[in-house]
Amino acid sequence: MATAKGKLLQEFNEAFIRGNREIVLNSVTDDIKWNMVGEDEISGIDAFERAFQEMPREGKIELTIKTIITHGITAAVEGTIHTTNDLEEKKVYAFCETYRFNKFKDGRIKEITTYIIEVKS
């Protein structure tokens, strides 16, 4: 059975891929920190929203979540993203994200660290 945090993370990741601003922004704290490994850290809700809005979402995007692990105020999500652009070019990305919540029960996401690489399809 999925935990409340597991359900939140499932919904958060699906909303992120679909571009659902309301769900994504309601899931994070105002002082959110997002570290996409290899990129500059994003700090604060305004910078996070700008980065979220700038994410490419053209073509077909499919998210597959393989694993969600939650423990206390921390969690991890592992999965793949399959993209197909308008020219039918396909790419596959494997990702793992770690999360830290602002509190144990009914918390919102305070920190995200994203590891993502393109893999052979």
Domains of the chain with bracketed CATH:
4-119 (3.10.450.50)
Tokens at residue 24, please?
A: 């994504």
Q: List C-alpha distances in Å: 120 to 22, 34, 92, 93, 117.
A: 33, 26, 7, 8, 10
Q: pLDDT digits over 38-76, tens only? A: 999 999 999 999 999 998 888 899 999 999 999 999 999
What residues pair up with 80 in beta bridges, in sequence order? 64, 94
Q: pLDDT digits over 46-56, tens only? A: 999 999 999 88
Confidence of residue 20 (pLDDT cuts 50, 70, 90): very high
Tokens at residue 113, please?
A: 């660290």
